[in-house]
Chain A
Amino acid sequence: MARITHGIACSHIPALGVASDFDKWEDPYWKPIQEGFAPTQKWEAENLPDVVILVYNDHASAFDMKIIPTFAIGCGESYKPADEGWGPREVPVVEGHPDLAWHIAQSLILDEFDMTIINEMDVDHGLTVPLSMMFGKPAKWPVKVIPLAVNVVTYPPPSGNRCWALGEAIARAVESFDEDLNVQVWGTGGMSHQLQGPRAGLINREWDNMFLDKLSGDTQELRCIPHIEYLRETGSEGIEMVMWLIMRGALGKETRELRRFYHVPASNTAVGHIVLEPVNGEVPPSTTVEGNNAEAQNLID
């Protein structure tokens, strides 16, 4: 049986990719970030999962304005790094896990999450920067990756509540997969940042740390934050943090924080990072897949 072992959240700022690709970590500007992630890299090497479900958003790379899926899951064999206008990053090709990905896609659709299924796409910094932050510069990524892309660019993005519920449905899907696999769920993007208009450069250290605090324990407060609060408090691009809630939802009822790092700035953005472990990984039963279950019926009534 597959199991979710940990959740990780990590900013996916393109400049971090540049720092990694061009070996800038010793530079005084980047050194604190390198030091902040070094213990996690060590921890991650010791707790290496078989598969990472990597929640991210595409930044006008694989998807343009022609097609805007709210939730899309990658079921392909592999994904090349995208050319985002500077030429593709020189990082390894990302290997997928089609068996588990298709299982999750089917489970989610039966669970009434109407996923878009992607078999071929290139992946941009949203997906490859977190891999660099966790694994450095290996010749080959040490895990299989299931990309889960969320629209957080064109309004409205999904609500935080919906993201959390999707995470719970992912947990149910992983648990019903027969193969013995360790799975991590990563939420990426954030934290506070605004990349546009005269208000660009906004950072909200206090709000970001409130958000980090409430990812642990059994509180569900974060799922109820409306979009307007992200926009006002964390800048127009801070909305990416709804993706962290998919990770949090997938960890179940109660979590414990193992590591945290927060730093301002990298380029225009507050760097946030957390490692969470499920304490009680229980998630509510599906109201459809487990429709005859008494608890599920209570939810419907």
Chain B
Amino acid sequence: MTDKNPCENAGGPIDIHAYLGEFDDIPGTRVYTAKRARQGYHLNQFAMSLMKAENRERWKADERAYLDEWPMTEDQKLAVLARDYNRLLDLGGNIYFLAKVFSTDGLSFLQAVSTMTGMSVEDYQAMMIAGGRSPEGVRSIKEHR
């Protein structure tokens, strides 16, 4: 056994700033970084609370009143009420937490995810059945590939 680290030549040491900086170069994607996790903390914890049946009942009875129990920003609350998932991602939401909101609405992942793509559910589902979105051209903004 002579290999010390099989990856030591795989791109050099990791610089945290370069590591995080690359995430902004992916088109149409919000990587859930520490910065977003901090910004969206209460938004995500609100969403998490909908895992309990009794909370779901209170939420359905009066969404605005339920949101006002959480120390979220007004922008976050309005985006939740509008079910604007792209906006919620920008405001620190994470899709697995936001899933508690759309599953409470009775939407599947496919239905909810399609709303973020600007496509109708039918067109989105047809794209998936045809093999999904190609990575061609959406890997990197800078490198146009």
Question: Which single member of B89, B95, B99, B140 contacts A85 (CB below 8 Å)?
Answer: B99
A83 within 8 A of B: yes
Assembly CA distance A59 to B124 (angstroms) = 23
A-B contact pairs, 12 of them (CB 8 A): A64-B44, A65-B44, A65-B45, A84-B103, A154-B34, A194-B29, A198-B28, A201-B114, A224-B7, A268-B113, A295-B1, A299-B4
Measured in the bound complex, the distance between the Cα atoms of B29 and A59 in whole Å is: 19
Q: Interface stretch among B65-73, B74-82, B128-136?
A: B128-136
The reply to whether B86 and A153 form a contact with Cβ atoms under 8 Å apart is no
Q: Known A85-B104, A298-B1; judge A228-B127 contact (CB<8 A).
A: no
Least distance between B5 CB and chain A CB atoms (Å) = 7
Nearest A residue (CB) for B95: A196
Tell yes or no: A45 within 8 A of B by CB: no
Main secondary structure of the interface of A (DSSP, over half): loop
Assess whether B108 is in contact with A267, with CB atoms less than 8 Å apart. yes
Chain A contacts of B89 at CB under 8 A? 196-197
Residue among A196, A231, A298 with most chain B CB within 10 A: A196
Q: Is the CB of B32 within 8 A of A154?
A: yes
Which residues of chain B are near A264, meaning CB under 8 Å?
A: 128, 131-132
How many residues on the A side are at the interface (Cβ–Cβ under 8 A)? 56
The 9 closest A-B pairs by CB, nearest first: A203-B132, A199-B28, A198-B28, A85-B103, A224-B10, A224-B7, A201-B133, A265-B128, A232-B139
* B50 partner residues in chain A, CB cutoff 8 A: 85
Which of chain A's residues have a CB closer than 8 A to the CB of B2?
Answer: 298
A201 and B117 form a contact (CB under 8 A)? yes
Q: What distance in Å separates the Cβ of A48 from its nearest Cβ neighbour in chain B?
A: 32
Within 8 A of B (CB), among A214-234: 220, 223-224, 226-228, 231-234
A15 touches B48 (CB 8 A): no
Is B26 within 8 A of A232, CB to CB? yes
A106 within 8 A of B: no
Question: How far is A220 from B4 in the complex, measured between Cα atoms in Å?
Answer: 13
Which A residue sits closest to B111, measured CB to CB? A267
Whether the Cβ atoms of A199 and B29 lie closer than 8 Å is: yes
- Asked if residues B6 and A220 are in contact (CB atoms below 8 Å), the reply is yes
Which B residues, 84 to 131, have Cβ-Cβ distances below 8 Å to chain A?
85-86, 89, 94-97, 99-100, 103-104, 108-110, 113-114, 116-118, 124, 127-129, 131
A113 to nearest B CB, angstroms?
16
- B1-42 contacts to A (CB < 8 Å): 1-2, 4-7, 10-11, 19-20, 22-23, 26-34, 37, 41
Cα of A156 to Cα of B18 in the assembled complex, Å? 13
- The interface residues of chain A lying within 8 Å CB-to-CB of B22 are 228
Residue of B nearest to A203 (CB): B132
Is B33 a contact of A59 with CB atoms below 8 Å? no
Q: Which residues of B contact A268 (CB under 8 A)?
A: 109-110, 113, 128
A19 to chain B: closest CB distance in Å?
12
A121 smallest CB distance to B (angstroms): 13
The listed residue (A223, A226, A267, A270) touching B109 by CB distance below 8 A is A267
Q: Given A231-B23, A298-B2, are A14 and B32 also a contact pair (CB < 8 Å)? A: no
Check: B61 CB closer than 8 A to any chain A CB. Answer: no
Q: Which residues of A contact B11 (CB under 8 A)?
A: 226
Bound CA–CA A218/B118 (angstroms): 44
